[in-house]
Structure 1
Amino acid sequence: MASTVSTAACVPCSHVSANAVVVTWDGPDDPQDPFNWPSWKKWWTVGLGLLASFVCSMNGSILAVAHEAISHEFGISDDAFPHSYWITTSWGVGAALFPLVIFPAMEDWGVRPVVLGTYFCFVCLLIPIGFARTFATPRHGPGGCVPLMSDAVASIASNVFFRDKARSTPVALYVLIYLGATSLGPVLGAAILEHLPWRWIGHIELIVTSALFPVFCAGLPESRGSAILRAKAQKMRREGKKAYTAEEADSTPLQQRIIRSLTRPLYMLFTEWVVFVAAIWAAFSLGTIYLFTHSVGQVYGALYGWSPVQAGYIQSAIVVGEVLGTVLSLSTNHWYEALAARNTEVPGTPIPEARLYTAILGGFLGVTGGMLIYAWAAHAAVHWMVITVGLALVGAGTTAVVISIANYLIDAYSKYAASALAAVGLAENLSIAFLPLASSALYTDLGFQWASTLLAFASLALVATPFIVIKWGKEIRARSPFMKEAVIERQRDTGVVIDA
């Protein structure tokens, strides 16, 4: 197919000649535009991203079930400090910091090279785990790769699905796979540990991850429109034509664009009230999942005499809850769509705050309610299935909260959603790294009942924040320069211009 270029727009840049043209799509129906891909290709691309995210995300918690065996082999004691949690802490630190440095590359080079490059590095960094000779064998590298793989799914979804409604299901699956794989890690680790030494957890993970790499190389297409256009422009330049994309014509040096991409999430975290609250809530939710991962062995071991392997299996209840939380989020999408008629800013367009109704439901009934059950049913005389229901409710509520937050930020911040989500991801992974360090002391000093009750009270306080955002949503968006641009984009898309 012949490439059509826009000759109306000259390139205002010193390194591009004055008569150069800017490469654009061949009209609104260009089949190369990812928004115009057939449904099967969109879901194939998203599906491969979800598979990569699933395989990588299990790495964060799969070794947690083997902490006693690992500590015993290396002579590590948790008497003075929970040293055994270093396995997860080092992973979480890498997950928090690496994306801030590497994620901007996805915007400059495209999704495919970053995903494949990150996945290859992840495979290489898994090798030392099964062959570790010291307890301090680092896991920063694998941890840093995981959020890049997960964020790639969100990027792919936004690249191929145009409308907010179309993105709802991919975003929900993106959150489910990330949380579900994290919670499933101890279950799979327990299944391996029951029959093999702990090192085989690392070996099997390496084998499975390596085997899938050729699949991603062969099957994952580039989904970022700017990268596809850049490849088209490069082909035209090889043919002797003076053609560039709009991004290539940008005279801003690459290092400045990277610095801007690095600093924007941090700037938004501390200047955008909504992003800050969303980060705190999501960080608490994710940190609690990891905290429960470590408390389960302590609680079920003390109450029912279960082994670490048995405690690892019971965490499948959290996975069941996460699936139910995803179903809840998808089944309540009609709330979001029904409120479009009440939007006075852009009539016919749903209100971003409507995404938060499900978070209220999940936070109150799921997370807070589940924690209270997990707290006050924690008695040896009470059947283990009762507190397991509490675990499932926490999983369901956490998933509903995180999906709602992700959808709200995507809707409210539009083109700045990646930076908003990056800020939230930074807080989430720091919480994953450090909050569960308090698990053993918390449940030992306060007791099983009051430790979980304290967490329930914190969850209840966070559930109140969406009410503020819902009530004063329009005023909050009017004061945010980032959200104002999102409103303008919505007005441009719908052809309706109304003062924000």
Structure 2
Amino acid sequence: MDALQKESISTQPTLNEGDSVRNQTPDLEKQSTKQTAETSEPTKELFPETDLSLGLVGWDGQDDPNNPQNFPANKKWSLLALISVMTLISPLASSMFSPAISYVAMEFGVMDQTILSFSVSIYILGYAFGPLLLAPLSEVYGRRVVLSGANWFFVVWQIGCALANSIETLIICRLFAGIGGSGCLTLGAGVIADLFPREQRGMATSVWAMGPLIGPVIGPIAGGFLGQEAGWRWVFWLLLIVGGVVSFGVEVLNKETYADVLIRWKTEKLAKETGRTDLRSAYDTNKESVGLTQTLVQSFKRPLLLFVKSPIVFLLCVYMSFIYGLLYLFFTTIPSVFTQKYGFSVGLSGLAYLGIGFGFIGGLAMIAFTNDRLVMAATAKNGGKFEPEMRLPTMIIFACILPISFFWYGWSADKHVFWIVPIIGMFPFGVGMMGVYMPIQTYIIDCYPKYAASANATLTATRSLVGALLPLAGPKMFDTLGLGWGNSLLGFLALAFIPIPILFIKYGKVIREKWPVDLDGKKA
């Protein structure tokens, strides 16, 4: 991580005019775990200041109003809300189509259930590829332009989906729509790191994460009724309209928040005004000028480097992918269970997702209002020294809650218990998944604030790959084992994974410190 992104407490001395930024700020990769403090007051980023005598261009003081972390609170939350709205619409598209798949099967004459399931899950496969491209680009060209491009790419491909005349065309169009739709999911983590100090990131991440978890629940409800009354093509026309309106709003109201890009623009402007050719951004820690091609190559390598060279990121990716796979295996059974076993219409079957949806909301509220407070209390108890692993202890509780749903829902549906019972049985999984998902997401942002987009891309790509492919095995598994034992198998797997959060909490810091990753392309 960049040497100039070090997080420090508010009592940290600022850089005086004429002082060298390089001398004042040690490399974060070496010092991320050596921050000391004499107070537990909220943190403040240490920002590099302009020092023209050394040819360095930074912020105009620690309170520079152009610095995104110094934006007024209402502006910060408004920018986050803008991105969060699109973050709701994109995941909505992932599942909104699923209840209407039977109408597609009839129109195109497709009887293969694996192909039909793939036409739904292929959208999530787009989430696996998109972040690996968009996150690095945002760390070179900035968040705003990359997010806008991704949003419009998502919108345009809805037209292809709506006009598709074969299942093959529909699958291809949904893949590209998923790639565009991954923009808001990928860059939101970066925007949070850009705007918020760490004591506010838990709440900010909770707001932003509502979309990826609630969208797939709302989608089947809306898609079921819309597909039944207006036809499956209107699912995509509606996504086109809503997505277009929100994308236009993002285009007009969104602001650039990435500090590296903002200071680069400032450097270019000052160089033009003063005629000096020796000026460089204080965020550029490379002494030698690096070309655009080399910068892009290094940016594209970051998500892969994190996955391969950081054991803690790799393990978190595996754990989150497992939980995400369970979610989508859960989703594969809901439409058939409530239409075939309980006689629901296609539209009404979507309402069954409310059980897991209310669980998401409950878990989200718990994390939003406790995570930051617990972290601040742990920091104070630790002598004012913050460690990212302080985000993780609550995961143990939620990991224990999560498996309950598989036994409750699976056996109540298998024995045809009154329909409200299996719906209520989904609630614990929603609570548990949110309680696991949110701390991991915020932990990654805290560990890699400058490259939060790339770090989040690693998480998003791996979990989306599993979420897209694993459900394809769902129908055969449940046909073989039945609802009771099929869900029980998932429940036993979830129980087996309960010790994983304990290992993260106990050994996470040791692993993170022992295997640091050079994300700037420099030798430590």
TM-score of the alignment, normalized to the shorter chain, above 0.5: yes
Task: Work out the CA distance in 2 between the residues paired with 1:460 and 1:228.
Answer: 47
Could you tell me how far apart the structure 1 residues matched to 2:448 and 2:251 are? 32
Which residue pairs with 1:245 in the alignment?
281
Deviation at 1:442, TM superposition (A): 1.5
Q: Distance in 1 between matches of 2:268 and 2:18?
A: 17
Match of 2:331 in 1: 293
Instruction: Tell me what 2:148 maps to.
Output: 116
Alpha-carbon distance between aligned partners in 2 of 1:149 and 1:330, rounded to the nearest angstrom:
20
Matching residue within 79, 84, 92 for 1:58 = 92
Matches within 5 A, 1:354-369: 354-365=390-401, 367-369=402-404
Amino acid at match of 2:78: W
Structure 2 residue aligned with 1:384: 419
Aligned residues: 469
**Residue in structure 1 matched with residue 76 of structure 2 by the alignment:** 42
1:212 aligns with 2:246: yes
Alpha carbons of structure 1 residues 416 and 225: separation in structure 2 relative to 1, 3 Å: closer
Partner of 1:276: 314
Aligned match for 2:157, one of 119, 122, 125: 125
Q: Residues of 2 paired with 1:172 and 1:456: CA distance?
A: 26
What are the equivalent positions in structure 2 for 1:344-363 lying under 5 Å apart?
347-363=383-399
Given candidates 354, 366, 370, the residue that maps to 1:316 is 354
User: Are the equivalent residues in 2 in contact too, given 1:175–1:402 (CA < 8 A)?
Assistant: no
Question: Displacement, 1:320?
Answer: 1.4
Could you list the per-position Cα deviations for residues 295-339 of structure 1 after superposition, in whole angstroms to 9, with x for gaps in the alignment? 101222332122332221211222211111101212332333322
Q: Secondary structure at the match of 2:148?
A: helix
Report how far residue 247 of structure 1 moved: 5.3
Residue 98 of structure 1: how far off its partner (Å): 2.2
What letter corresponds to residue 328 of structure 1 in structure 2?
M
Deviations 1:47-68 (A, max 9, x none): 1010121122211111111111
Alpha-carbon distance in structure 2 between the residues aligned to 1:111 and 1:416: 12
> % of aligned pairs identical?
29
**Residue in structure 2 matched with residue 498 of structure 1 by the alignment:** none
Alignment partner for residue 85 of structure 1, among 98, 109, 117? 117
The answer (yes or no) to whether the contact 2:392–2:439 under 8 Å persists in 1 is yes
Partner SS state of residue 31, structure 1:
coil
Contact 1:108 1:227 in 2 (8 A): yes
Partner of 1:304: 342
- Cα 1:39–1:341 change in 2 (3 A) is closer
Residue number in structure 2 paired with 1:449: 484
Superposed CA RMSD in Å reads 2.6
Q: Within 5 Å, which residues of 2 pair with 1:159-238?
A: 159-162=194-197, 164-238=198-272
Counting only pairs closer than 5 Å after superposition, residues 331-342 of structure 1 correspond to structure 2 as 331-333=369-371, 334-342=373-381
Q: Secondary structure at 2:413's aligned position in 1?
A: coil
Using the alignment, how far apart are the partners of 2:126 and 2:188 within structure 1? 19
* AA in 1 matched with 2:393: Y
CA distance in 1, matches of 2:454, 2:147: 18
Question: Relative contact order: is structure 1 or structure 2 higher (C-alpha 8 Å, sep ≥ 6)?
Answer: 2
Equivalent of residue 434 in structure 2, options 399, 424, 432: 399
TM-score, normalised relative to structure 1: 0.87
Q: CA deviation at 1:397?
A: 1.2
1:340 is aligned with what amino acid?
T
Kept in 2: contact 1:477–1:483 (CA 8 A):
no
What corresponds to 2:458 in structure 1?
A: 423
Question: How many angstroms apart in 1 are the aligned matches of 2:294 and 2:154?
Answer: 28
Structure-1 separation of matches of 2:296 and 2:196: 26
- CA-to-partner distance for each residue in 1:256-300, whole Å, 9 max, x for gaps? 233223333223323333222211221122222222222101222
Task: Give me the whole-angstrom Cα distance separating, in 2, the residues matched to 1:60 and 1:215.
Answer: 22
Q: Counterparts of 1:238 and 1:371 in 2: how far apart (Å)?
A: 63
1:92·1:143 contact (CA, 8 Å) conserved in 2? yes
- Structure-2 separation of matches of 1:436 and 1:266: 25
Question: Would you say the 8 A contact 1:10–1:20 is kept in 2?
Answer: no
**Alpha-carbon distance in structure 1 between the residues aligned to 2:266 and 2:369:** 41
CA distance in 1 between counterparts of 2:293 and 2:131 reads 16
2:61 alignment partner, SS class:
coil
Matched-pair contact (CA < 8 Å) for 1:45–1:221: yes
Superposition deviation, residue 238 in structure 1: 3.9
1:146 counterpart (157, 160, 181):
181
Shift of 1:363: 1.8
Could you tell me how far 1:466 is from its partner in structure 2?
A: 1.3
Instruction: Name which of structure 1's ranges 236-245 and 104-113 shifts more when overlaid on structure 2.
Output: 236-245
- Separation (CA, whole Å) in 2 of partners of 1:90 and 1:312: 20
Deviation digits for residues 110-131 of structure 1 (CA, Å, limit 9, x no counterpart): 1111111111111111111111
Q: Is the 8 A contact 1:317 1:391 kept in 2?
A: yes
Indicate which of 180, 192, 196 corresponds to 1:157: 192
2:230 match: secondary structure: coil
1:480 aligns with 515
Q: Partners of 1:275 and 1:217 in 2: how far apart?
A: 33
1:432 to 467, 474, 482: 467
Q: 1:263 is matched with which residue?
A: 301
| Distance (Å, rounded) in 1 between the aligned partners of 2:505 and 2:484 | 33
For normalisation by structure 2, the TM-score amounts to 0.83
Question: How far apart, in 1, do the equivalents of 2:136 and 2:424 lie?
Answer: 41
Do the aligned partners of 1:63 and 1:87 also contact (CA within 8 Å) in 2? no
Does the 8 A contact of 1:416 with 1:482 survive in 2?
A: no
Measured against aligned partners, the alpha-carbon deviations of 1:6-41 in whole angstroms (never above 9, x if no partner) come to 877799xxxxxx998332111111100111111011
List alignment gaps of at least 5 residues for structure 2: 1-15, 23-51
Question: Structure 1: which amino acid aligns with 2:352?
Answer: I
SS of match in other structure, 1:136: helix
Specify whether residues 271 and 462 from structure 1 end up closer, same or farther in structure 2 by C-alpha distance, changes over 3 A only.
farther
Amino acid at match of 1:38: P
Matches of 1:141 and 1:484, distance apart in 2: 29
Question: CA-to-partner distance for each residue in 1:386-430, whole Å, 9 max, x for gaps?
Answer: 111122221221111110111222234444544432222121110
Change (3 A) 1:310 1:129: same
Distance 1:102 1:413 in 2: 17
On the 8 A contact 2:159/2:240 being kept in 1, the answer is yes
Query: Partner letter of residue 398 of structure 2?
Result: G
